[in-house]
Amino acid sequence: MATEAPSCHGGRETMLDAARTAGKSEQVARMLADYPRGPHDQPQSMCPAFGSLRVGLRMRRTATILSGSACCVYGLTFTSHFYGAKRTVGYVPFNSESLVTGKLFEDIREAVHETARPADYDTVIVINLCVPTASGVPLDLLPKQIDGVRIIGIDVPGFGVPTHAEAKDVLAGAMLRYARNEAEAGPVARPRNLVDGEPTVALIGELFPADPMGVAALLAPMGLAVAPQTPAREWRDLYAALDCEVAAAVHPFYTASIREFRAAGRPVVGSGPVGVEGTEAWLNAIGRAAGLPQSRIDLALGKALPAIRAALDAAPIKARVTVSGYEGSELLVARLLVEAGAEVPYVGTACPRTEWSEADRAWLASRGTHVQYRASLEQDMAAMLEVKPDLALGTTPLVQKAKEQGIPALYFTNMVSARPLFGPAGAGSMAAIVAAQTRGRERFGRMVSFFEGVGTPDGAGYGFREKPVDPPGFRDRQRKLRAAKAKAEEAVGT
């Protein structure tokens, strides 16, 4: 354990060094390898631990306990309930003394024993946030199970996991590892709706609810079905996912989860069935990985591709669009837009470059699209302002900036990820989004002109009947005051 409590505000390198000193070298090395940064420090994002918290809260019979600073826990629980969670989140408080003496670990262990009630839960998840991780709180010393209830402890510090999307993988991978070890040790609970002898494809990534059904329709002619997706909704789904014929890394940043599928001997395929070319390449890759004859693959292609082509032809997209976000599906969305006829000069994603998105990157690059991995908000905004698209898909601050410029814009997470992406349904839904928004560009331009100068920093607020006007000499006086203050501070060495 650390000899003194590290501060939340010590900076990433300071926290990393503290974690290594406190005995977390192996965990730190794994995080930095699984979730590489660059070219800058890390993307702007909400607390990464929200991703792990979200995964646990969406699982049946699963309890989650947070170990971290009170302000962090407050923000995480507020955000989780804002996004619809209706379950209590456990919290183990601490102070500097309990942290450095090891009492915090004892308190966590006591909380786990109190929570692990087999009548209520299959699993208890404990999540170390920044300060407990940097202090070396050893969650790996918790019991692996209590009265049949599985105990899983993970470190999800902001200084080690860049985005909340990747934090989903931290917990998903830990649960898959636990479930894989259980299955290798002996019989496990039968998954719901399991069809014996039916080969399946396991989808990796959080998807719009209709997408697994759309993928199932694409796979059916090959004699394949869809396994429960990862992250799972209940524990026994993990067994069914691991028992797949092929794993599909639809979201390409699930590094730890992919490692567990490979450890279980399952081949992994990247990209996804978007558009005609994307679907053709994906179904061929899935069929080859499953060891199917080309005739069965061709049967699936013959049924899927004409329907997707018809959907694209029925709703062509004639617009310039920029795409940015942190979901992991940004490259797939861009591919679909391009196949539908859109010009997509820029795609920014907060996620890292991995082999599972390489086919998408190469396809987009060959069509003139710049793909920016680990994109910062500043890079996304600069691209939008340079391109001046007909529609910008991005994060909330980018959407705000776009609308200030009179550019139609949509929040990627709520408006794009909340619609189907794969198969004919995906082609149709994307066209509807773009058409509805680009029709309003002229209206946006009139609104910007009408409100010009209103609501800007020194013109914001209520009570103005007309556009605010500075008093004579106001800005010059303020400039001189700032210069005098700076000179005085310099004189006293501050």
* Residues 326-361 pLDDT 10s: 888 999 999 999 999 999 999 999 999 999 999 999
Extended strands (E) in 389-430: 391-394, 409-411
Tell me which residue has tokens 């919290």.
91
> From CA 44, how far away is CA 240, in angstroms rounded?
35
Reply yes or no on whether the pLDDT at 442 is more than 90: no
Reply yes or no on whether the pLDDT at 10 is more than 70: no
> From CA 231, how far away is CA 251, in angstroms rounded?
11
Domain boundaries, the chain: 12-162, 200-311, 316-447
- Smallest Cα–Cα separation from 122: which of 229, 239, 234, 242? 234
Percent of the chain residues topping a pLDDT of 70: 90
pTM equals: 0.86
The H helix count followed by the E strand count for the chain is 20, 14
Q: Which of 39-48, 130-139, 360-369, 430-439 has the lowest mean pLDDT?
A: 39-48
Instruction: Quote the pLDDT of residue 493.
Output: 54
Place 15 in a pLDDT band, splitting at 50, 70 and 90.
confident
CATH superfamily for domain 316-447: Nitrogenase molybdenum iron protein domain (3.40.50.1980)
Whether the domain at 12-162 and the domain at 316-447 fall into the same CATH topology? yes
For the residues 240-254, what does the mean pLDDT come to?
Answer: 95
Reply yes or no on whether the pLDDT at 3 is more than 60: no
CATH topology of domain 200-311: Rossmann fold (3.40.50)
Cα angle, residue 204 at apex, residues 199 and 205 outer, rounded to 5°: 145
Place 20 in a pLDDT band, splitting at 50, 70 and 90.
confident
The torsion region of residue 405 among left (phi > 0), alpha (psi -120 to 50) and beta comes to alpha
Secondary structure letter of residue 59 according to DSSP: S
Q: Which two tokens stand for residue 133?
A: 């991780």
3-state secondary structure of 150: strand
> From CA 402, how far away is CA 421, in angstroms rounded?
24
What strand order describes the sheet that includes 62-67? Answer: 90-91, 62-67, 123-128, 149-155, 145-146
Q: Which of 121-135, 153-167, 208-222, 441-455 has the lowest mean pLDDT?
A: 441-455
Which positions ≥6 away from 152 have C-beta within 8 Å? 123, 124, 125, 126, 171, 174, 175, 178
CATH topology of domain 12-162: Rossmann fold (3.40.50)
Rounded to 5 degrees, φ, ψ at 64 are: -125, 135
